[in-house]
Structure 1
Amino acid sequence: MAIRLSLLAFCLLSLPLWAAPVVDRPRLVLIIDDVGSSLEKGRAALALPGPITYAILPFRTYSRELSQEASAQGKEVILHAPMANTRQLELGPGGLTPAQTREQLQQQLSDSLDAVPEAIGVNNHMGSLLTQLDEPMGWVMEVIHKRGLFFIDSRTTASTRAMSIAQAAGVPSAERNVFLDNDRSIEAITGEFRRAVELALNEGRAVVIGHPYPETLAVLQTLLPTLGELGIVQMSAAAYLDEIEDAKRRVIARQSAASH
């Protein structure tokens, strides 16, 4: 109990006194990446409260089982598509690289999506190299658009072009604002959660990515239930993007009505 209270105090009391919502109900989207390699960690992540989006790695030992369990629980699933990185780290099965032809890349992505049929969107696993490249990312978006999915840019590099390419292709898209657990200490994760809360309150939205680490899940189990006390709405990625798309349609409709 003492740990819970200290975490809550750190997250809530350290907010600036001037922090206030700039919209009626600020939104926070939480995505849990790297699901599929551990059944225990995956199930612990599925036990988190509220609407959460689970990014499933393709072709891992427990990818199908966890994807099916998430879907059965009404949880949102997306494909966590491995993409080439600048550090030449191993991608594992399902990797997308600049060395692939258009046909090879699109077939690989299609195979990965077929392996996670519950997925209604895609985000990138690593990808600090591929997401900078217009042509292969354009091929990625062709597949996503054809299947009627959305895309979340994990922003593993400041030079990413992924979201702008997605938008040009007509793919509903958003980008990550906060990584919770680059530093896996409880204190650091709690601090990043606080930063996400501040962003949501001050800018109206925050898209947050974490991983099924025990430390991350412990912080989230404690602090996710506090979002409602702050007036923040926790949403899945799809629900968030649906709101954005609805707002765009309303603007277009008003513009069209004004021009007649």
Structure 2
Amino acid sequence: MAWKIVVTLLKHLIHPVLGLLCLSFALSAAPARLAIVIDDFGYRKHNEEQILKMPAAISVAVLPNAPLSQEMAQKAYQSGHEILIHMPMAPISKQPLERDTLRPGMSVEEIRRIIAQAIRNVPHAKGMNNHMGSAMTSDLGAMQLVMKTLSHYQLYFLDSVTIGSTKSIQAAEGTSVQVVKRKVFLDDDQSEAAVRKQFNLAVKMAQKNGSAIAIGHPHPSTISVLQQMLPQLPPDVVLVPVSHLLPSAPHRTYPSREPKPVEVETPEKPVAIPVDLTHRCPAPESIEKINPQATYSTIKNIFGTSPAIWSIYSYLTYCSVAPQISASSLPSAPNRP
């Protein structure tokens, strides 16, 4: 009986249903994915704790030999944030370096020791990215040793791309290490206007390419911009951890984000519909056989829940009560010559 009802219904609704299903598919299209990583955790507790109050989809990268590395890694883990080891790597320019900075020319034993210690200092890490590192990441032989070591720990590698000639992807070939690359730096210029501009650039890149990774730091300006901008992300962009962007990451369905509704003043009296829509309903003898609630349940079980299915339910409910509405309750249409 339920199937006969569905068939009868679809005969009358085939064109409206197709339109609503197209709308439903458009609304449920995969959103653009934006990953944001905040580097240099382990030194500025107050600022870093403000980051940890933000959505858990923000990833954090902890310097392994910073004074607060273990404490902040534990707090990040407890707050649900994904953790990376922010591994110091040698830059081309001369500048002060962190202890146990990876350098080209190091032996495989030394690289293994430094990475093993970093993993102990940053618990719960799922990946690694480079702190500085223009000299190290552009050296294929040195990066091959890094990737071979990482493959023993099932960590991914996020290339911060501090130099255009980075060799991270080539170095990972033949290993189990998955590599992704940074697209946008949020705060090379720490003014709020510049950070906001870079944030918007990251959003546009995610929308254009399907995904993007942005890297920032726990500067006051970056924190302020994130606090302002994250609640205003477009509905077609979802914030994700870095691991969701790995090549082998499973397909995920993200909850839809609807724009905030605009509040409108509710009129004191109900407004009558000025157009009689009953001529768009199935014939009365057909609609009398349809229980909107039962039909909605049947269609939902077949096709699943979607805006289109809910619209069909609303349509059926209207048609089931339309004959009961007195024609006199509808405003008369004006006479036309």
Instruction: Report TM bin, short chain.
Output: 0.7 to 0.9
CA apart distance, 1:142: 1.1
Q: State the distance in 2 between where 1:34 and 1:163 align.
A: 23
Q: State the distance in 2 between where 1:246 and 1:73 align.
A: 22
Q: Secondary structure at the match of 1:139?
A: helix
Give matches, 1:97-112, under 5 Å: 97-112=103-118
Partner in structure 2 of residue 38 of structure 1: 44
Deviating above 3 A after TM superposition, structure 1's stretches of 4 or more consecutive aligned residues are none
Partner in structure 2 of residue 188 of structure 1: 194
Q: For the Cα contact (< 8 Å) 2:32–2:211, is it kept in 1?
A: yes
TM-score where L is the length of structure 1: 0.82
Q: Which AA in structure 2 matches 1:204?
A: G
Q: State the distance in 2 between where 1:181 and 1:245 align.
A: 30
Identity of aligned residues (%): 34
Q: For the Cα contact (< 8 Å) 1:35–1:57, is it kept in 2?
A: yes
Q: For the Cα contact (< 8 Å) 1:121–1:150, is it kept in 2?
A: yes
After superposition, the CA RMSD in angstroms is: 1.9
Partner in structure 2 of residue 47 of structure 1: 53
1:54-89: CA deviations, max 9, x gaps?
Answer: 000012111111000011111111100000000022
Q: Is it true that 1:127 corresponds to 2:133 in the alignment?
A: yes
Give matches, 1:19-98, under 5 Å: 24-98=30-104
Q: For the Cα contact (< 8 Å) 2:169–2:179, is it kept in 1?
A: yes
Q: State the distance in 1 between where 2:90 and 2:83 align.
A: 22
Q: State the distance in 2 between where 1:246 and 1:152 align.
A: 14
Larger radius of gyration: 2
Partner in structure 1 of residue 327 of structure 2: none
Partner in structure 2 of residue 231 of structure 1: 236
CA apart distance, 1:50: 4.2
Give matches, 1:215-254, under 5 Å: 215-227=221-233, 229-241=234-246, 244-246=247-249
In structure 1, list runs of 5 or more residues that go unmatched: 1-20, 249-260
Q: Is it true that 1:170 corresponds to 2:173 in the alignment?
A: no
Q: Secondary structure at the match of 1:158?
A: coil
Considering Cα pairs closer than 8 Å and 6+ residues apart, tell me whether 1 or 2 has the greater RCO. Answer: 1
Q: Which AA in structure 1 matches 2:76?
A: A
Give matches, 1:152-171, under 5 Å: 152-171=158-177
CA apart distance, 1:167: 4.3
Q: State the distance in 2 between where 1:160 and 1:117 align.
A: 27
Q: Secondary structure at the match of 2:80?
A: coil
Q: State the distance in 2 between where 1:27 and 1:90 align.
A: 35
Partner in structure 2 of residue 16 of structure 1: none
Q: State the distance in 2 between where 1:175 and 1:77 align.
A: 16
Q: Which AA in structure 1 matches 2:113?
A: Q
Q: State the distance in 1 between where 2:57 and 2:249 align.
A: 20
Q: Aligned residue pairs: how many?
A: 225
Partner in structure 2 of residue 17 of structure 1: none
2:119 to 101, 113, 119: 113
In structure 2, list runs of 5 or more residues that go unmatched: 1-26, 252-337
Q: Secondary structure at the match of 1:64?
A: helix
Q: State the distance in 1 between where 2:60 and 2:152 align.
A: 22
Q: For the Cα contact (< 8 Å) 1:58–1:93, is it kept in 2?
A: no
1:88-143: CA deviations, max 9, x gaps?
Answer: 22221231011421111221111111111211110000000000011111111111
